[in-house]
Amino acid sequence: MAGLVSKNFDKPDETRPFEDGMGRLDLFNTEGGAVGRAVFEPGWRWSQHIKPLAGTDSCQSAHTGYVVSGRMVIAMDDGEQGEIGPGDFIRIAPGHDAWVVGDEPCIALDWTGYTDYAKPASG
């Protein structure tokens, strides 16, 4: 195990584009798991731009992260809903939709839910 690891999101290990050019996921693969920075463009919605890749009715990833900029609404399958924005810590259980609000991209860091996020479903 390395004593110090430093990486920059300008040079990720992997980049996964979202449908219709509505954003991307920049990913680092670390010993502790995947760490990602997602850029969700205005107009992005999980059910439109990730669902075709995931092949599930709602997002089944559990997210633990931090919102750097922009705003997003999270709607849980059970009807619970909330808005997140800059400086917010987030923990989101599987079973949700989400969409960007406003005209600024929403940028979020996540260290638990991006291993398979926006990866085409195996067929």
Contact indicator for 26, 37 with CB cutoff of 8 Å: yes
List pLDDT tens digits, range 70-100.
999 999 999 999 999 999 999 999 999 999 9
Enter the tokens of residue 96.
Answer: 């949700």
- Distance (Å, rounded) from C-alpha 70 to C-alpha 19? 19
Query: Any idea where the domains of the chain sit in the sequence?
Result: 14-101
Work out the burial of residue 23: count CB atoms within 10 Å of its CB; fewer than 13 is exposed, 13-18 middle, 19 or more buried.
buried
Fold designation for 14-101: Jelly Rolls (2.60.120)
38 φ/ψ angles, rounded to the nearest 5 degrees: -105, 140
Nearest to 51 by CA among 110, 123, 108, 117: 117
Alpha carbon distance, N-terminus to C-terminus of the chain:
35
Report the C-alpha gap between 2 and 27 in whole angstroms: 19
Q: Report the alpha-carbon distance of residue 1 to residue 31 in Å, rounded.
A: 8
Residue 112's pLDDT band, with cuts at 50, 70 and 90, is very high
Q: For 32-78, what is each residue's pLDDT tens digit?
A: 889 999 999 999 999 999 998 888 999 999 999 999 999 999 999 99
